[in-house]
Homo-oligomer: A and B are copies of this chain.
Amino acid sequence: MPSFGRAGLILLLSIVIFSGIGYRWLSSYDMVEVEDKIEAPMKKWSPPTGQGKPPASCTCPAKSHDLAGSIPTANREDIQKRRAEEYKKHQARTSSILNTLLFAPSNSPLQYPIQGFTVRPLVPTLIPGTVSLQVTKGVLSLGSQSEAQSVKGGGKKLLILEKLSLEELNKLLAKVTYTIPVYHIHTGDLVHFSFELHEAVFPIAIRQPTVPVLFDMGTNISDQVTVTTKTFMRYKELKVLIRSLRQFYKDVVLIVADDSFTAEKITEENVLQYIMPGGQGWFAGRTLAVSQVTTKYFLWVDDDFLFTEKTKIEDLVEVMEATPELDVVGGSVSGSQFYFSIAYEEGDGVTGGCMDRKSKVKFQSLPNYPQCSIVHGVVNFFLARTDAVNRVRFDPKLKRVAHSEFFMDGLGQLMVASCGHVSIGHQPRGASAQYGRFRHPGKGDVQYKLQLHYYKNHLQCIHYG
């Protein structure tokens, strides 16, 4: 009857816990938590956030530059306030419940973290007090080797503590550290541990902290948004677009990616024109324009759009700022609010995945913005986070008609919404014959796009609904 033998064992180990292993171990994390457990072990337990230790201020190396000091005292306070605001948003975007520290229930024989135990590469870090530990990538060791006779394998992948009284055991367990001896930005290790017949395993996340990259929202719309467009032999339309933009936004910067065969210099104020090799293509131009943006957001428009009193960039910024997890928010073009969702299955890893674009399919609406809903892709008029779009990028291989392809590449990486309350106009159509010849793709272009999906996206089929 194994269950009885096992029960006996558990009884023994339960005593071990309450004699302090759980306590001793937890003590390096969250003391309050521990006391809760000891006084009222059955009280509902909620995990502490982070790894318990409050963040400590760091020490500046000798002769280092004092950066706050480099800012003119006049506007130092404003800048500090804005920085704090952006940093809060950055943390909201990067933190996850999946990084909080969780413990195995206190009535399992030994207490250990089942999630959220994170170490930095090359840095020795205290790990849960357990009795026999084994790891694959890192090394285990004890701060002091004084108790050498009872320790096997200090500084190795297997650590065994034996012939110890509970008091001795606890002394040692408080000193067990884990170190990954090589540098890596993001990996993990598993700790296998056992006490007599009891066994368990828990994960260690190994992570090099990243450096924040924040944008200064400044004080007005032109500090926050850059307008971007791509043109090809349509200077007439482009000039109409610029005139309409200036009616409403005097000094917002406009970036123009231009792959016309014979470029015409644009000399307007606050317009940055980039001249590409002729016919380099639609997505190449989009990617170029976005690469040059220095504001937190950019607004994408086509060169034949028309700004109207309904084109309130501020309203799109408001939606983005109120919803930090959003990356892209689209509006409507001359009244029509085009959006779609994408059904995607990875498939078996050999023949490839299946993709189905579904027009007019949306998900939940945004908190406080009933006129906006989560979708997978939007129309050619959208506000986006510069950093998020750079991570996905418009594939410069796509030379002609392409749009959904960006949102397909970005599926699972971008949170996209579509809003009905902001719109832009469209100029009357009347493209030159020469323009049309390039604008409208031949059979060759379509074939190329399908071949690209097959290889690049590892798809076996795609359906455009």
Contact = CB atoms under 8 A, between A and B. Distances in A.
Interface of A: 2-4, 6-7, 9-11, 14-15, 17-18, 41-42, 44-45, 47, 55-68, 70-71, 79, 82-84, 86-87, 90-91, 96-98, 102, 104-105, 107-109, 114-115, 122, 181-190, 192, 197-203, 205, 207-216, 272-277, 280, 284, 287-288, 290-294, 325, 343-356, 363-364, 374, 390-391, 393, 395-397, 408-409, 411-415, 447, 450-451, 453-463, 465
B275 A274 contact: yes
17 contacts: A10-B11, A57-B351, A58-B345, A58-B347, A65-B450, A67-B454, A87-B458, A96-B186, A97-B190, A114-B203, A184-B325, A208-B411, A210-B411, A210-B413, A211-B408, A214-B456, A293-B396
B350 A457 contact: no
Nearest to A273: B277
Contacts of A114: 102, 104, 114-115, 202-203
A268 to B, nearest CB: 12
B453 A67 contact: yes
Given A56-B348, A274-B277, A66 B185 contact: no
Select the residue from A214, A355, A390, A461 with max chain B CB neighbours within 10 A. Answer: A461
Given A6-B41, A11-B4, A198 B61 contact: no
Contact of A14 (B6, B71, B214, B390): B6
A348 B456 contact: no
Nearest to A263: B275
Contacts of A105: 108-109, 198-200
B83 A458 contact: yes
Contacts of A347: 55-58
Q: Could you say how many copies of this chain the assembly holds? A: 2
Contacts of A346: 55, 58, 209
Select the residue from A9, A62, A213, A277 with max chain B CB neighbours within 10 A. Answer: A213
Contacts of A364: 181-183
Nearest to A98: B188
Top 3 A-B pairs ranked by shortest CB distance? Answer: A58-B345, A210-B412, A114-B114
A300 B292 CA distance: 18
Given A3-B17, A56-B348, A57-B351, 10 more contacts: A3-B15, A9-B107, A56-B347, A57-B348, A60-B461, A60-B463, A70-B451, A212-B456, A272-B277, A291-B396
A297 to B, nearest CB: 15
A67 B208 contact: no
A79 B453 CA distance: 13
A457 B70 CA distance: 14
Contacts of A353: 58, 211
Contacts of A97: 187-190, 203
Contacts of A462: 64-65, 67
A354 B58 contact: yes
A207 B412 CA distance: 8
A114 B90 CA distance: 28
Contacts of A188: 96-98
A102 B273 contact: no
A275 B272 contact: no
Contact of A182 (B64, B215, B363, B447): B363
A235 B323 CA distance: 48
A211 B411 contact: yes
Nearest to A84: B350
A411 B185 CA distance: 8
B348 A55 contact: yes
